[in-house]
Amino acid sequence: MTATRGTSAPDVRQTDPGPAGAGPGPANGTAVPAVRIEAVSKVHGRGAGAVLALDAISLDVAPGEFVCVVGASGCGKSTLLSLVAGLDAPTARTLTVPGRPALMFQESALYPWLTVAGNVELPLRLAGVGRAERRERARELLASVHLAEFAQRRPHQLSGGMRQRVALARTLALDSPVLLMDEPFGALDAMTRDLLHDELETLWRQRRPAVVFVTHNVREAARLGDRIVLLSSRPGRVVWQTTVDAPRPRRMDSPETAAVAAEVTDRLRAEVRRHGH
């Protein structure tokens, strides 16, 4: 399915994702990217008040690859995810994404009148999945995030970390080949965040979606990413990227993670200083 939107004839394409479970890692020139972003720009507003948020960004994400996007506040990280998710249209050029990406936000955004199981079942119900099948899939997903015994609770009865686990299970419900995550653990305490890193990595290794993970936390990016992409301050451009070669599983406090985080921090500081001048 192909949709064309925007003022400069951008092209937003949904394509056949290919076989599930394709191997992880950067594109090698032969595999079809899970996400292809080609010289994408985004302008907010019109006339004298128009703001160029993203400027000719190009980025491929391979099937199964875990890409972390970092940058200063206001650099367009969340705008980029919104474009990939199809929530907004680029002003120019092309985005190619398989199927319909799954999107997870910083806030869990659970429906308070639904049970935990009901929240996980909701996207399946909207997709027309039958009652018995969606209940079974919700049960399996809640078990995968260690919340099976809380299936009949309401969101207000859960801690913040537990609500994010429910949100993660709901995001995974449709088994999308592309998972978009916009600072999903940013509001959690350090210990809860570390535990959720472990759970996310386990689920990613089992399912192998391509992940685009936006974060302000460079150590989180070094802990999770196959590749880290740095955006410039507004307008957002890809100014640097690096492959993370440290073996998995990683720890937030390991020397390897700290070394990668230090390099990313130096690059980010240099970009912020450049923008400030």
H/E run at residue 79? helix 77-85
Provide the percentage of residues in the chain whose pLDDT is more than 70: 88
Q: What is the pLDDT of residue 180?
A: 96
| Residue with the larger pLDDT of the pair 46 and 61 | 61
Express each pLDDT in 149-163 by its tens digit: 999 999 999 999 999
Place of tokens 């912020």: 272
Contact between 100 and 3 (Cβ < 8 Å)? no
Pairing, β 102-104 against β 35-44: unpaired
pLDDT-derived band of residue 276, with 50, 70 and 90 as boundaries? low
Q: What is the pLDDT of residue 30?
A: 53
Average pLDDT over residues 40-51: 85
CA angle 41, 45, 51 (to 5 degrees): 55
Predicted confidence (pLDDT) at residue 16 exceeds the cutoff of 60: no
- Residue 165 CA: distances (Å) to CA of 3, 107, 126, 149: 33, 11, 21, 13
Question: Which region holds residue 215: left if phi is over 0, alpha if psi is between -120 and 50, else beta?
Answer: beta
- Residue 199 structure tokens: 């759970």
| Residue with the larger pLDDT of the pair 27 and 38 | 38
Q: What is the pLDDT of residue 89?
A: 87
Express each pLDDT in 71-90 by its tens digit: 988 788 999 999 999 888 88
According to DSSP, the residues that pair with 211 across neighbouring strands are 66, 179
Express each pLDDT in 188-243 by its tens digit: 888 999 999 999 999 999 999 999 999 999 999 999 999 999 999 888 899 999 99
Q: Model's pTM, two decimal places?
A: 0.85
Label residue 15 exposed, middle or buried (CB < 10 Å: 0-12, 13-18, 19+). Answer: middle
According to DSSP, the residues that pair with 212 across neighbouring strands are 67, 180
Pairing, β 35-44 against β 8-15: unpaired
Q: What is the pLDDT of residue 147?
A: 95
Express each pLDDT in 120-157 by its tens digit: 999 999 989 999 999 999 999 999 999 999 999 999 99
